């Protein structure tokens, strides 16, 4: 199956189908520069990780036009609330050093319904003001998105969740797919599980490395993977995933690895009240 290099969002903007996730460290700017100079066009940052300024610096150093880069950030729950969210978005833009974000997400559903909705309303205002082009959520289950719908707010463009063969988030994926909400996959490389026999067997079969198999699985499932790395060669290798196809039988084999919530390797707060 041919996987596109970008997809259209409900807003009409296009988003690349592969992005770089970045760490909170001094290597962030260099990682972004390397990624952008080697074909990546999307960078995923977050206020919690204090890497917005590094992303902006790396983007400028890359020589790639800002309009050709899709940059995301997220507001973390201590800043949730209407007024504080608007302040946070403006601070994020100051950190980035460019006038807007392509996508801005609510990092988690923590702190309760009222706070979630006030934060989302503020993101709608930020979008109307041109500070962000698209808005979305992260770690949301269907019930959290139902709150947005019931409040009469616009649907999120994106829901970013932990997603890989061991934690496939099937109820969330089904919910979002029915509503044309794009699924971004964080932790697509399953920290420490790449030595699994199935993954290693497929890597050998396709003459690819384990990370490329995991990223390609995500792409063929219709997700937008966001692999993290600060290593130049690994960043480049992780981007070389459009030149092969995993057979349907092998995709099905990877699908059998699902352990549901037990397969999560990060905080995965999708069940928050």
The domain that holds 14 is classified in CATH as 3.20.20.100
Can you say how many angstroms the Cα of residue 183 is from the centroid of all Cα atoms in its chain?
8
Tokens of 12: 């009409």
Rounded Cα distance between 52 and 139, Å, is: 20
Rounded Cα distance between 92 and 77, Å, is: 15
Query: What's the domain count of the chain?
Result: 1
Residue 269 domain flag: no
Rounded Cα distance between 75 and 88, Å, is: 7
103 to each of 58, 149, 183, how far by Cα in Å?
18, 19, 13
Residue 271 domain flag: no
pTM for the structure as a whole: 0.97
Q: How many other CB atoms sit within 10 Å of the CB of residue 56? A: 24
Residue 117 domain flag: yes
Residue 71 domain flag: yes
Domain that holds residue 159: 6-262
Query: pLDDT digit of tens for each residue in the chain (273 aa)?
Result: 899 999 999 999 999 999 999 988 789 999 999 999 999 999 999 999 999 999 999 999 999 999 999 999 999 999 999 999 999 999 999 999 999 999 999 999 999 999 999 999 999 999 999 999 999 999 999 999 999 999 999 999 999 999 999 999 999 999 999 999 999 999 999 977 889 999 999 999 999 999 999 999 999 999 999 999 999 999 999 999 999 999 999 999 999 999 999 999 998 999 999
Rounded Cα distance between 147 and 141, Å, is: 10
Residue 1 domain flag: no
Residue 40 domain flag: yes
Q: Residue 22: left (phi > 0), alpha (psi -120 to 50), or beta?
A: beta
Task: Give the helix ranges, DSSP H, for the chain.
Answer: 28-37, 52-62, 82-96, 113-128, 142-150, 170-178, 197-206, 210-220, 232-238, 248-255
Instruction: Tell me, yes or no, if 175 is annotated catalytic.
Output: no
Q: Pick the catalytic residue: 49, 101, 120, 186?
A: 49
Residue 268 domain flag: no
- Is 144 assigned a ligand-binding role in the annotation? no
Distance between terminal CA atoms of the chain?
A: 39
198 to each of 31, 245, 256, how far by Cα in Å?
30, 16, 10
Residue 267 domain flag: no
């Amino acid at each position: 199956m041919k996987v596109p290099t970008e997809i259209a969002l409900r807003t009409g903007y296009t988003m690349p189908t592969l992005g770089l996730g970045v760490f909170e460290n001094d290597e962030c700017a260099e990682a972004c520069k390397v990624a952008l100079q080697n074909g990546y066009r999307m960078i995923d940052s977050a206020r919690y990780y204090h890497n917005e300024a590094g992303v902006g610096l790396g983007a400028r150093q890359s020589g790639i036009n800002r309009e050709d880069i899709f940059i995301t950030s997220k507001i973390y729950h201590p800043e949730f609330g209407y007024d504080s969210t608007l302040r946070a978005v403006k601070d994020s833009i100051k950190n980035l050093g460019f006038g807007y974000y392509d996508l801005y997400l609510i990092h988690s559903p923590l702190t309760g319904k009222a706070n979630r909705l006030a934060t989302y309303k503020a993101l709608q205002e930020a979008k109307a003001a041109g500070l962000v082009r698209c808005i979305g959520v992260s770690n949301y289950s269907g019930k959290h998105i139902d709150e947005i719908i019931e409040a009469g707010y616009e649907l999120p463009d994106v829901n970013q969740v932990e997603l890989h063969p061991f934690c496939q988030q099937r109820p969330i994926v089904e919910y979002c797919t029915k509503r044309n909400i794009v699924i971004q996959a964080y932790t697509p490389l399953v920290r420490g599980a790449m030595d699994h026999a199935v993954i290693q067997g497929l890597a050998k079969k396709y003459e690819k490395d384990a990370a490329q198999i995991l990223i390609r699985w995500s792409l063929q499932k219709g997700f937008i993977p966001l692999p993290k790395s600060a290593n130049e060669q690994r960043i480049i290798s992780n981007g070389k995933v459009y030149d092969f196809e995993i057979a349907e039988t092998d995709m099905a084999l990877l699908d059998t690895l699902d352990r549901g919530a037990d397969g999560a390797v990060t905080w995965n707060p999708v069940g928050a009240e």
